[in-house]
Amino acid sequence: MTETGVESLVRQLSDGRFHSGESLARLLGVSRTAVWKGMQKISRETGLEIHAVRGRGYRLALPLELLDADRIASYIRSGSSVVPEIRVHASLPSTSNYLAERMGELADNTLCFAEHQTAGRGRRGRQWISPYGTNLYFSLYRRFPLGMQELAGLSLAVGAVVAETLSRYFDGISLKWPNDLLVDGRKLAGILVDVHGQAEGPVDTVIGIGLNLRMPQLSGDEIDQPWIDLESVAGREISRNLLAAELSLALLEALDSFSGSRLSAWMESWRRYDNWHGRPVQLVRGERVISGIHAGVANDGSLRLEIDGRVEHFHSGEVSLREGVSCERV
């Protein structure tokens, strides 16, 4: 069965009801054997759990709200006069890689969503676990007429925007420098900003966002750090399409402002969600560990760390933040 056929099977099964092999075969114009093989492929490649019951057919263990470009566009249109190009894929290695490979042909603000990523990227080369049809994985392309230095702090501004948007559903979200969103120390979402261009500009950016919305436990068991998902803390079901549109709209509005205001417009928001200020922390840079007191974020997006009574600034995107017990340099 072709990839298109498999995608059609998933869409038919997404309602969580039983569908007979005969009806599915008739709908797709294939044999019942091809349907059975398609089910095996879905289980193998997406990790979705399929129940097969003799006399009743096939169904997903849980229904899915699959992403729909038209629905997302409709939601965005209700809050903006300009609707960007929206691309939705069943599976990609990475939404950010997809856009980065096509920058020369993309219109500004092109959005790319995927139901599933086979090579999703987190910080410091970590894999971003991306089960099918349950969380949100998307990227946005934007060209700025600015130099790279002027884009310092972009990932922090994006983090503040995402935190504000998600706080409509739950008010216990915090930001950890430079671009993680946490709830009680457990990771809820992550942001990666890839920058391409000349130092003096213009600069092409791809902003990638991964959000744990409804993480299946089996997929969660593969994650090597504490995690949480939005529906668990919100205590209710959340529409993937509506949330995708809300995040996209907030991000588009923020990027329109960033060219003029830089990070300064979001500093107050960042500080509101930053619960690390004043606490002893450790910065890990490869084999080097630096301990000190978290002294906030500077207007250029750098981390301010008090070490032995002096405040030092750290810009590196490879820096990881961890609670420490000492304030001495190691």
Identify the CATH number of the domain in which residue 27 sits: 1.10.10.10
Query: Of 232, 249, 273, which residue constitutes the final position of a domain?
Result: 273
Q: 181 and 44 in one domain?
A: no
Half-sphere exposure of 136 (CA within 13 A, CB side): 31
User: 252 in a domain, yes or no?
Assistant: yes
User: 130 in a domain, yes or no?
Assistant: yes
Q: 247 and 156 in one domain?
A: yes
Cα 2 off chain centre by:
28
Q: Residue 314 — very low, low, confident or very high, per pLDDT cuts 50/70/90? A: confident
pLDDT for res 316: 66
Domain of 314 in residue numbering reads as 280-323
Q: 234 and 124 in one domain?
A: yes
User: 330 in a domain, yes or no?
Assistant: no
* CATH number where 307 lies: 2.30.30.100
pLDDT tens digits for range 124-175? 667 888 999 999 999 999 999 888 888 888 999 999 999 999 999 999 999 9
Q: 135 and 111 in one domain?
A: yes
| Greater pLDDT, 288 or 68 | 68
Q: 73 and 48 in one domain?
A: no
Q: Residue 327 — very low, low, confident or very high, per pLDDT cuts 50/70/90? A: very low
Q: 264 and 202 in one domain?
A: yes
Q: 257 and 164 in one domain?
A: yes
Average pLDDT over residues 192-204: 90
Tokens of 251: 């991000």
Residue 328 has pLDDT above 50, yes or no: no
User: CB of 135 within 8 A of CB of 178?
Assistant: no
User: CB of 114 within 8 A of CB of 68?
Assistant: no
Residues 6+ apart with CB under 8 A from 61: 48, 49, 50, 51
Q: Work out the number of other CB atoms within 10 angstroms of the CB of residue 115.
A: 24
Q: Work out the number of other CB atoms within 10 angstroms of the CB of residue 81.
A: 5
Tokens of 242: 């509506």
Q: Residue 325 — very low, low, confident or very high, per pLDDT cuts 50/70/90? A: very low
pLDDT for res 329: 37
pLDDT for res 320: 53
Number of domains present in the structure of the chain: 3
pLDDT for res 330: 33
pLDDT tens digits for range 250-284? 999 999 888 767 788 899 999 999 988 888 888 88
Encode 299-316: b = buried (16+ Cβ within 10 Å), e = exposed. Answer: eebbbbbbbeeeeeebee
User: 329 in a domain, yes or no?
Assistant: no
Residue 21 has pLDDT above 80, yes or no: yes
Name all contacts of 268-273 with Cβ < 8 Å and 24+ positions apart. Answer: 269/160, 269/161, 269/163, 269/164, 270/156, 270/157, 270/159, 270/160, 270/175, 270/297, 271/296, 271/297, 273/160, 273/163, 273/173, 273/174, 273/175
* CATH number where 119 lies: 3.30.930.10
Tell me which amino acid residue 137 is. Answer: Y
With 0-12 / 13-18 / 19 or more C-beta atoms within 10 angstroms meaning exposed / middle / buried, residue 127 is: middle
Q: Residue 322 — very low, low, confident or very high, per pLDDT cuts 50/70/90? A: low
Query: Of 60, 88, 103, which residue constitutes the final position of a domain?
Result: 60
* Annotated catalytic residue 123: yes
- Report the first-to-last Cα separation within the chain, whole angstroms: 57
pTM of the full predicted structure?
0.90
Q: 184 and 261 in one domain?
A: yes
Q: 73 and 40 in one domain?
A: no
pLDDT for res 317: 37
Query: Of 15, 32, 60, which residue constitutes the final position of a domain?
Result: 60
Residue 321 has pLDDT above 60, yes or no: no
SS3 47: coil
Spell out the alpha helix ranges (H) of 47-91: 69-77
Q: 136 and 39 in one domain?
A: no
CA separation for the pair 265, 63 (Å, rounded):
40
pLDDT tens digits for range 84-108? 999 999 999 999 999 999 998 999 9
Q: Which helix (H) or strand (E) holds 231?
A: helix 230-234
Q: 201 and 129 in one domain?
A: yes
Tokens of 28: 């797709």
pLDDT for res 139: 98
User: 49 in a domain, yes or no?
Assistant: yes
Tokens of 182: 């946490």
Tell me which amino acid residue 34 is. Answer: A
pLDDT tens digits for range 201-237? 899 999 999 999 999 888 888 888 899 999 999 999 9
User: 177 in a domain, yes or no?
Assistant: yes
Instruction: Please tell me which residue in 32, 271, 322, 329 is annotated as part of the active site.
Output: 322
Angle, in degrees to the nearest 10, between helices 240-261 and 154-166: 140
Q: 51 and 73 in one domain?
A: no
Phi, psi angle pair for 100, to nearest 5°: -60, -35
Instruction: Please tell me which residue in 187, 214, 240, 262 is annotated as part of the active site.
Output: 187
User: 328 in a domain, yes or no?
Assistant: no
Average pLDDT, the chain: 89
Instruction: Please tell me which residue in 11, 123, 143, 186 is annotated as part of the active site.
Output: 123
pLDDT for res 58: 95
User: 209 in a domain, yes or no?
Assistant: yes
